[in-house]
Structures are given as structure tokens and as C-alpha cells.
Structure 1
Amino acid sequence: MITSVITSVRVAKPTCQTRPTPLAKPNIKKPVLSATGNTRHLCRSFKELQDPSILETALPALEPPRLDRDEYKESSRARLRTVFDFDRWAAHRSTTRYTRHMSGIFTSRMIRGLAPTLSFVAALSTSVATFHQSVDCGIIETPENIRNIVIFNSAQPLLLTSTVLGLLLVFRTNASYARWLDARKSWGILVNRSRDLVRQGLTWCPEKEHALRDMLCRWIIAFSISLKCHLRVDEDAIVELAELDILPYAELVALAATQHRPNYALQVLSTVLRELARVLPSANSTLILNMDMNLTAIEDVAGTCERILSTPIPLAYSRHTSRFMIIWLSALPFALWEPLHWGMVPTCFVISALTLGVEDIGVLIEEPFSILPLEVVCSTIRGNIVEMLEIQNAESGEDAGNNGGGGNGESIDVVTRKVSASELVRRAKFESDVSNLRIQAE
């Protein structure tokens, strides 16, 4: 029910559209009419004039630019979100990995994604081989000077440039891996800071302020899910939060009305810390400062992820690498005909697949958020916070009724019943006091 209602008020993500030309010398005192002409919106400030809804009514919508998109490669990126466990690590280290990897070479997503480029190389190699064979058989007669230009049979230029090509590919792959690693480390920081922030809140928040404590927990979960959806296409945080029943209806509606949902979640968490500072004693000001530092670290994670998403490796470098590779691979059939003849065709195909595959790996991991298992990270954050909250809410008196504070010798089934940390501390102090009394009595 919540999902159906939220859909009507949900604000969609901004799409990749060409921004309209800004109004020249806007008169902010004049009213701007809506599309229906029935409602007048007074633009009392330049901030209101920049409202996208007003600009859409004032200027005609422009068609977004057409961008190349490989549907197969984009749809297969979700399959790369692999999470390793003990069994996967054992298989990863197994010597049978060579057989397993080679058996799937023809069904590899990378090879299938490179099919258009590999088809071009195969067609060019076949054409070069056919031309050489026709010249050797006398089917095609060409002047000697033209033949010397067309029949290029020296591998020296390729050998001289192969080192440069290797350096380009290594730098491209290393730079992309650094971006991937930076993104994964950022989400690791988010997991750690979220745990620490919840731990501090559950430990120091007074029992009567359970509303603040619960709000702190659920909005940290909401932030992680909002950030994940903010970094991906075709994912909506409102729908996911409604399905998981994380936020109450009013809070879900408030989040749906915002454009930058992770930023709004941070604002809510900051307000929770402010209210928590009011109910805590003044001696705990350092605690609030530490919690705010954790919140700042979480905000830095969002900024780092947005930087990685919006700033690729310099495009000039990527373009030059692609051009270098295509020219180099296009010259390869001419250099390999003399020593290999028709064996040149499969050789060029294999060399192209290996070389293009290395470059494609760099492109694949350059934008890491669509291949990282962020939903698993969000699920880990949610599971840890829910468990910590359940343990904190465990009734302290239940243990006293079950084992009499440890006096009747009954053990605690920690697998079936969650025990709060404060309860364990009280039990340890009780047993220590009993032991001291026994020693004094003896």
C-alpha cells in the first residue's frame, strides 16, 4: 500500500537531458505563467527562477543527445556483482580454474561484448589474406610501386610501438583499478562508520529517548540505500525503502520530495544528533563531537563516490588508447602475412581478443558502482543495525527470571536468545561480587 501511494508523490531522478539555454537578463519581478495559464508563480528570487519546473514551462524541451550504448554489456554488468565466501575462495584458488576458465572462453561476456571489433579485425585479416593470395596467384595484377605500398610485410614498426602500447594499457588498467578500489574502500568506511555511530547512539542514548535512538538507526539504513540508488541507473530508493518497511510513511514522503536523497538523510541524522545533545549531560559533549565526526566521514564517502561517478579518466587518454590499438591491430595482418600466410587470420583474431580484452577490463571497472555488490553492503549495514537494536532492546529482567542472576547454575542459550551487552556486564559484576563475598567469608 505504501509503495502505491509513494509512487504518486515520488520525485524521479533527473534524466540526462540537454540543459536549456539560460534566460538572458531575467526579470525576476515579472510573474511566470504555468503551462495551463491558470496559476501564476511569482519568482521573488533568482533561486525560484532556477526551479526546473518553472524553466520547463518557460522554455521548450530539447531533445537529449544520442549517446552510444551497448545494451548487452550494460545489462551484463549486474552479473559481475559477486560476493566471495569460503567456498568461492576455495574454488578461486583451485588449480582447476584454468580448465574452468578456458571452457567458458567462447561464452565469455567480454568476448561477446567485443564481437563487433573482433569481427572488423577478422574481416580485415581475411581481406588482406585474400588480396595477397590473389596477387601471388596472378589473379590481380598491380604495378610494382603500388604493390610495395600495399603489401606491407615488415613487422619492425609494430615492434617499435608495441612497448608504447603496453605502457598505455598498463596505465589504463591501473588507473581504472585505483578508481574501483577507492570506491570499494569508501563503502567499507561507510560500513565501519555506520556501525560505530549506531554503537555510540545505542550505548549513550537514554532509555526514555528510544524515539531518537530508533530514528538514528533507521536513517543510517536509509542513507546507505539512498546512496546506492543515487549512484546507479533505474534504481529508486523510495521503492526499495517502502518494500523493506524501513521508514514510516511521513518520513518516506519527506524523503521522496527531495532531489538529493543522501544529502537529506544526512540532514536528518545531523538533527537527530542535535536533539541527542540536548538530552545528554554536558559532560558528554565529546561524545556528540565523536558522533558528528563519524557523520562527517559518512558524508565524505558520499562525496568520494560522486567524484568517482562524475569524473572519468581523462577522455583524451581513453581516445588515444583506442585509436592507437585500432591502428596497431589494423596494421598487424599486413606484417604477419609473409611468415604465417593464412595462419595470419586466426593469429590476428587471438591477438586482438587478448589486447582488446585488457583495454576493455580497464573500461569495465572505470565506473565501479554498477559492478560492485552495493546491495549486499547495504544489506550488511541493515542486518548489523537491526541486530544491534534488537540486542539493545532485550529485556534485562528476562535473564534474572531464567537463571536467577547466575545463582542456579543454568547456562544461557545465546544462540536462541539475544542478550544485551549491559546485561552481560551486570552479570559479570554480580558474579564478581559474589566471589569476593565468598573469599571474605572463608
Structure 2
Amino acid sequence: MINYNPKEWFTFIFRFHKADTFRKLFPMLIAIGAYSGLIAYLEVDVFKLSENSHIKNIPAMHGMLGFVISMLLVFRTNTAYDRWWEGRRNWGALTNASRNFAIKIQAIVPKELVVERALIEKLIVEYAFALKRHLRGHQNDSELFISEYKVKSEYHKPNYIAKLLVDQIQALYAKSIISGEQLLFINEEIRTFTDICGACERIKNTPIPFSYTVFLKKFIFFYVMTLPFGYVFTLGYIVIPVVVFVFYVLASLELIAEEIENPFGTDANDLPLAQMCKNIQKHIGEIFQEESVLR
């Protein structure tokens, strides 16, 4: 995700970054400009159409359709942002659940059980990294995966790690290290892990309906393609930059919505999952430190 200062207006206006829509649309902007120039040349210089032509009434159609397309784009961008924000909320919940789980384990499990505490600490941290890899389709990556437990690449690794956590907690309960009340107290956090994973999978695996996306792209295309026909009578060759700018605005909104509707990818404006995982790792490590910073 791009970090920025929202108060720096001029920096935004004159800065182009690698994810800027202008870079992505530049070839199409050139093509739209050439197309608009061709239409203006044919109408003004070749066929010499006058303002008495029925074509001059086309802008009335654009006035009516402009409101419709603006409503569609508002709905499209709002829907995409809702998905992005829900993804951010779920990862915030994962961070809190990881901290709460670590705090409970650190307080309940005796410090003498060094191996058990260390393993649970590793599993809590690994769950975040495994979920990141799972959502990005990088299941074969071995980042931080605990060497004691090997699992096939096609398995659902977040579920597997949640199972290992449950096994560890049940083993402590079977040895009477934790009580039944404490078991219920701890299991709530593991259930939260699985709920968060399911919510993230729902966002990733449920894209915007195909028919809606295709219709909106076609609507933008035909709207822009018909702009030069009517406006050339009032704008002349100035219609070229006007049509290019209109296309840039409409297509940019669609591209932005496409980029953020899956917030778990690696695009510039997607969620910084790697940084969130490292923060969880850092915070869990601090919680399990033997020496208290308040001592």
C-alpha cells in the first residue's frame, strides 16, 4: 500500500507513480485522441456537415446517459472500497486476536513449560503468514513455516495451523495444566482465527458479477466513442482533448475499482499484508518475553 501525506496537493498533481492510471491508459488515450481527430476531420473538412445536421442532437443523448453512467461508477467504486475496507477490518481483527491469544497463553501456561510456550508462540505468528500466502496464492512459499510440521502444498495451511493450535491446547488440558474454564476462554481466539480466514476467503473468491463489469466497460466505451460526433460542431478540433479527458476520468475510476476490489493482492494500493504479519510477529514476541519492560 502507498504511504502518503494527504495534505500535499501539488505533490499529487505533478507526480506519476508506477500504479498511476495515466500510465496504464496512455496507449488507449492516444488511440482515442486519434479517433476523435479522425471524426472531426471527416465531419468538418470532408463531408462539411453543418449545424443543421441531425448529428448535432447527439449531445442531448450524452446529457441523459452521463447521469446514468455516473451513478453506475459511484456504485462500482463504493462496492470495491467496501471490499477493501472489510479486508482491512478483518486483518485488524486478526492482529487483535493474535495479541489476545498470546496474552492469555503467556498468563495461563506456566513459564516452566518453555517448549510448549515457544511452540504456541510460533504457531500464532505462523497463522498470519500462512493466511497471507493463502490469500495471495503463494502456498508453496516456505516463509517462516515451522520445520517440525510439514504439510503438502495443496493443503489449506491456515486450517492446518489452527488444528495444531487446538491440539496443543487440548494437550495442555489433558495434562491438567489448564482448567476447563481456561480452555473455553482460550478456544474463543482460535475460533476467531477461522472466522477471519473465512471472511477473507469470501472477499477474494466472490468477485463483482461478470455481467455487471462487462456492461459497465461497454457502456463507457460506446459513450466515449460517440462523443466526437455531436460535440465537434461546437468545439471543432478542441473535441480531441475533451474526449480524451472524459475517457481518462471514466476509465480511471473503473481501473481503481478493479485494483482495490481484491485487497489481498500485490498491487500498489492493496493491503500491506507483509507489514501486518511482521507487526504481529513483533508484538507476539514482545508479549512472550521473559523479562518485563516494567521491571
Distance 1:261 1:133, change over 3 A: same
Q: Which residue of 2 aligns with 1:193?
A: 97
Aligned pairs for 1:290-329 (under 5 A) are 290-329=185-224
- In the alignment, does 2:159 pair up with 1:263? yes
Name the CA distance, whole Å, in 1 between partners of 2:68 and 2:45. Answer: 34
Distance 1:258 1:160, change over 3 A: closer
Q: Is the 8 A contact 2:109 2:177 kept in 1?
A: no
What amino acid is the match of 2:286?
Answer: E
Deviations 1:316-342 (A, max 9, x none): 111111111111111111121011000
Q: Which residue of 2 aligns with 1:123?
A: 34
Distance 1:336 1:105, change over 3 A: farther
Name the CA distance, whole Å, in 1 between partners of 2:198 and 2:18. Answer: 38
Of 369, 380, 384, which aligns to 2:283? 384
Q: Is the 8 A contact 2:56 2:229 kept in 1?
A: yes
What amino acid is the match of 1:351?
Answer: V
Q: Is the 8 A contact 2:139 2:153 kept in 1?
A: no
Deviation of the 1:112 alpha carbon: 1.2
Secondary structure, counterpart of 2:89 in structure 1: helix
Name the CA distance, whole Å, in 2 between partners of 1:134 and 1:107. Answer: 40
Q: Which residue of 1 aligns with 2:234?
A: 339
Q: Which residue of 1 aligns with 2:107?
A: 203
Distance 1:366 1:217, change over 3 A: same
Aligned length: 290
TM-score (normalizing by structure 2)? 0.90
Unaligned 5+ runs, structure 1: 1-80, 395-418, 425-442
Of 173, 179, 200, which aligns to 1:277? 173
Q: Which residue of 2 aligns with 1:170?
A: 74
Deviation of the 1:203 alpha carbon: 0.4
What amino acid is the match of 1:339?
Answer: T
- Which of the pair has the greater relative contact order for Cα pairs under 8 Å at 6+ separation? 2
What amino acid is the match of 1:384?
Answer: H
Aligned pairs for 1:67-146 (under 5 A) are 81-82=1-2, 84=3, 88=4, 91-93=5-7, 97-104=8-15, 109-135=20-46
CA RMSD of aligned residues (A): 2.4
Q: Which residue of 1 aligns with 2:86?
A: 182
Deviation of the 1:348 alpha carbon: 0.7
Name the CA distance, whole Å, in 1 between partners of 2:210 and 2:103. Answer: 44
Deviations 1:11-44 (A, max 9, x none): xxxxxxxxxxxxxxxxxxxxxxxxxxxxxxxxxx
Q: Which residue of 2 aligns with 1:72?
A: none
Secondary structure, counterpart of 1:104 in structure 2: coil
Name the CA distance, whole Å, in 1 between partners of 2:169 and 2:17. Answer: 55
Q: Is the 8 A contact 1:219 1:269 kept in 2?
A: yes
Deviations 1:52-89 (A, max 9, x none): xxxxxxxxxxxxxxxxxxxxxxxxxxxxx23x5xxx5x
Name the CA distance, whole Å, in 1 between partners of 2:14 and 2:253. Answer: 19
- In the alignment, does 2:254 pair up with 1:359? yes
Q: Which residue of 2 aligns with 1:221?
A: 125
Secondary structure, counterpart of 1:259 in structure 2: coil
Q: Is the 8 A contact 1:225 1:237 kept in 2?
A: no
Deviations 1:270-289 (A, max 9, x none): 1111112223467x322211
What amino acid is the match of 1:92?
Answer: P
Name the CA distance, whole Å, in 1 between partners of 2:24 and 2:185. Answer: 48
Name the CA distance, whole Å, in 2 between partners of 1:218 and 1:106. Answer: 37
Q: Which residue of 2 aligns with 1:3?
A: none
Name the CA distance, whole Å, in 2 between partners of 1:280 and 1:225. Answer: 31
Distance 1:175 1:300, change over 3 A: same
Name the CA distance, whole Å, in 1 between partners of 2:164 and 2:18. Answer: 48
Unaligned 5+ runs, structure 2: none
Distance 1:108 1:377, change over 3 A: closer
Secondary structure, counterpart of 1:225 in structure 2: helix
Deviation of the 1:210 alpha carbon: 2.2
Deviations 1:96-145 (A, max 9, x none): x22112212597621111234323322221111111132366xxxx9x9x
TM-score (normalizing by structure 1)? 0.61
The structure that has the greater radius of gyration is 1
Q: Is the 8 A contact 1:226 1:237 kept in 2?
A: no
Deviation of the 1:192 alpha carbon: 0.2
Name the CA distance, whole Å, in 1 between partners of 2:31 and 2:107. Answer: 64
Name the CA distance, whole Å, in 2 between partners of 1:233 and 1:123. Answer: 41
Q: Is the 8 A contact 1:194 1:381 kept in 2?
A: yes
Q: Which residue of 2 aligns with 1:430?
A: none
What amino acid is the match of 1:389?
Answer: F
Secondary structure, counterpart of 2:58 in structure 1: coil
Deviation of the 1:206 alpha carbon: 1.8
Q: Is the 8 A contact 2:56 2:233 kept in 1?
A: no
